[in-house]
Structure 1
Amino acid sequence: MIGRIEGRLLEKQPPEVLIDVNGIGYEIQMPMTSFYQLPAVGENVAVYTHFVVREDAQLLFGFADKMERELFRELIKANGVGPKLGLTILSGMSAGQFLISVQNEDVSALVSLPGIGKKTAERLVVELKDRLAKFGKQQTVPMPVDVDAKFMNTIVPVNDAREEAQSALIALGYKPAQASKLVESVYQDGMGSESLIREALKAAL
């Protein structure tokens, strides 16, 4: 099991990153709430990871802290929730927001996420409410992350920023038309792709 990776951040293409560890590049998929906390390309970074082995692939999922990783592990234990949907859930809302939605049985908040219908949302509440109670007792529940001002000021070509944001949303489960509509609805001059993705995900809720 690969539980943590530390090295130099080589690439950031949401929701995936490439981290160099002693000459070996690890491709890691991350929920956007963790992605926003990454340093600039070229800097050192450490992420907690969850390793998934399938017949056709070996996948690494990365998280900014242990809490988010543990919540991801609880999510993928739920009936009908695989790693991709778990990633989507933790991209559309923070770990703290998800915990609150489950504890309050707020099905409508969960249904707003791509890939989650009413039945799936209701099942998540039933399956996870008791199991996630332990997280509420801890003091370090991650809450919504504010994007650093540097992301808002990053100069990115308009087309590149929009295309990157749309690609990220599609990778997280949104349909192309929906991804395009969300991006266009929140785009403002000068927005970088990361802040654009964040605002689009907020608009989807």
Structure 2
Amino acid sequence: MIGRISGSIIAKQAPDLLIDVGGVGYEIQLPMTCFFELPAVGQPATLWTHFVVREDAQLLYGFNQLHERALFRQLIKAQGVGPKMALAIMSGMSASQFVSSVQQGDISTLVKIPGVGKKTAERLVVEMRDRLKDFGQDNPDTGLPGNALGDSPVPAVASPRDDALSALLALGYKPAQAEKAVHKVATPEMDSEAIIRHALKTMV
């Protein structure tokens, strides 16, 4: 199990991160809520990780804080929720917002997340309400030390709009839904991370 990674960021292409650890580049997928808090390319970063081994792939998921990884692990235990949906859920809202939605039985907010229909939302509330009753939202920040540079420009070949659209599609949003959200919020001066952040707010 790969539980924690520290190294230098080589590239950022939401929701994917490439980090150099002792000369080895690790590809890691992050929820947008974590991705926005990453330092700039070339800077050091530390991530808490969850390693998934499948027949056709080995996947690594990263989080800035331990309680975020803990929530991800609880989510993928729920019936019908895999890592992709868990990332989408955690990209659309913070860990505390999700916990609050579950505890309050807020189905209307949960169904706005891509791939989460009414039955899935209801099942999440039923299955996770007790699990998250004492969820440790107040854990100390054990992720990136003192770096909240999510607004740093990210070098990319494609345009910021294209990068944002690709990230939303990777999170499970439908093309028409993603395109509509990007078109609604994107302005010429915005970078891809800003577009993604604002687009997510319009959809959840």
TM-score scaled by length of structure 1 = 0.91
1:70-109 superposed matches below 5 A? 70-109=70-109
Give the Å deviation of 1:43.
0.6
1:177 corresponding residue in structure 2: 176
| Deviation at residue 140 of structure 1 after TM alignment | 3.7
Aligned ranges for residues 24-35 of structure 1 at < 5 Å? 24-35=24-35
Higher helix share: 1
Deviation sequence 1:92-118 (CA, Å, 0-9, x none): 111111000000000000000000000
Give the TM-score of the pair, scaled to structure 2: 0.91
Is the alpha carbon distance of 1:138 and 1:114 closer, same or farther for their aligned partners in structure 2, counting shifts above 3 Å?
Answer: closer
What CA distance in whole angstroms lies between the structure 1 residues aligned with 2:16 and 2:73?
19
1:154 positional shift: 4.1
Distance 1:183 1:141, change over 3 A: farther
Amino acid paired to 1:122: E
Kindly, what percent of the aligned residue pairs are identical?
A: 58
Provide the residue aligned with 1:163 in structure 2. Answer: 162
Q: 1:54 matched to which residue of 2?
A: 54
Contact 2:52 2:58 in 1 (8 A): yes
Point out where structure 2 has 5 or more consecutive residues left out of the alignment. Answer: 142-147
Match of 2:127 in 1: 127
Cα deviation 1:17-72 (Å, max 9, x = unaligned): 00000010000000000001100000110000000010111000000100000000
**1:145 counterpart residue number:** none
Q: Secondary structure at the match of 1:134?
A: coil
The aligned counterpart of 2:144 is none
The match for 1:190 is: 189
Q: What letter is aligned with 1:117? A: G
Q: Which runs of 5+ in 1 are unaligned?
A: 143-147
**Which residue is 2:11 aligned to?**
11
Number of aligned residue pairs: give it: 197
Q: In structure 2, do the counterparts of structure 1 residues 156 and 23 end up closer, same or farther at CA, with 3 Å as the change threshold?
A: closer
Structure number with the bigger relative contact order (C-alpha 8 A, sep ≥ 6) is 2
- Tell me how large the CA RMSD over aligned residues is: 1.9
What is the CA-CA distance between 1:2 and the residue it aligns to?
A: 0.4
1:95 and 1:141 in contact (8 A); partners too: no
Q: Which amino acid aligns with 2:177?
A: Q
